[in-house]
Amino acid sequence: MLKSKAGPVVGGIVGLLALVGLAVKLVSPGAGGNALEKRVDEYAARERDETPEARHRDVPKRLDELQALQKDPRFADVSKGKQALIKQRASELQLYTDFAAKVAGVPDPKDVENENQLHGLKKQLEQVRIPADYRSEWDKTEAGRRYDTLLDDVKAIEIGAEDVRRGYRAAAEEGEDVLRNRNAPRLPQRAKAVLDKAAPLPSPGKDNDRRLPGSERLTYAVVFRFAAVAESIRAWEKVRDRLRPLAAE
C-alpha cells in the first residue's frame, strides 16, 4: 500500500494537452480543420486549464462527451495526437470511475468493532489500487483523498491497538513480578515505579476522545473496543489494585 511515484502516462496526458493547446493557437478554426476537430480542441483547452480535482468531477458527463467524440464518423480525420488524447482521457476516466466506486464501498474505519472487522476492511482496501501512472493526478481528487485517509486510519488502528495492548501487558507483567518478590527490598518504591510507568497509558473513559496517532480524525475509542486491548487492560487493573496498597506502605 505504499504510494507510488507518478509515471509516464500522466506526463503524457499533460504533454498531449500542451500540444493540443499549441495547435489551437497556431491553427485558426477554419484553416483546414473541421467542426469535430474544433470540439476536440475546445475539450482539450478546457481540461488543460482545470485542476486535477476539477478534471475528475462530473465524470459520467465527461465520459459521454469523450465517447460522443470517438463515435463521430469524422473522428478518423482528426489528427493522430488529438485522437490519442481523447482515447487516453476516456480510458483514464473509466479507470477512475471504477476506482472511486471501490473506494466508496469501503466501510469507515471509525465504525470497526473488533479485530476481525479491521482485518476484513484491510483486505478490502488491498483490492483497491491507484495505477502508478495516475497517482499524482488522483491523489488530488475526492476519491484519492478518501483512499489515502482510509489507508492511514487502518494503519493507525493497527499500530494503536498493538501499542496499547503491549503497554498494558508489560505493566501487568512487571506488576506481577513485584508481587512475586514482595519480600525483596524497597517494595513500596518498586510498586510505585510500576504504577507510575503505567499511568500515561491511554485508558477508556479518560482518553476516549484523544486522537489516535497517525489518523487525522480517529480517537482511541476505536482501539478500546478490541477484545485483546480490553483483556490486557483488565489484566493490568487486577494487578494495579494489588500494587496500590503496597506502594502506600
What is the structure's pLDDT at 62? 95
| Residue 44 near residue 82 (C-beta atoms within 8 A) | yes
Percentage of the chain surpassing pLDDT 70?
87
Strand partners, 219: 211
**Greater pLDDT, 223 or 28:** 223
To 5 degrees, how large is the angle CA 147–CA 150–CA 155? 130
The rounded mean pLDDT for the chain is 88
What is the structure's pLDDT at 34? 81
Give SS3 for 202.
coil
Strand partners, 211: 219
| Residue 189 near residue 209 (C-beta atoms within 8 A) | no
pTM value is: 0.80
What is the structure's pLDDT at 248? 86
Quick: pLDDT tens for 16-33.
Answer: 444 444 444 433 443 334
Residue that has been written with the C-alpha cell 485483546 in this structure: 228
Neighbours of 196 (CB within 10 A): 10
Question: Can you count the helices (H) and strands (E) in the chain?
Answer: 11, 0
pLDDT value at 221 more than 70: yes
Quick: pLDDT tens for 108-139.
Answer: 999 999 999 999 999 999 999 899 999 999 99
Confidence at 249, pLDDT banded by 50, 70, 90: confident
**Greater pLDDT, 86 or 5:** 86
pLDDT value at 36 more than 80: yes
Residue positions counted in the chain: 249
| Mean pLDDT score, 41-49 | 93
| Mean pLDDT score, 152-169 | 98
pLDDT value at 218 more than 60: yes
Percentage of the chain surpassing pLDDT 90?
84
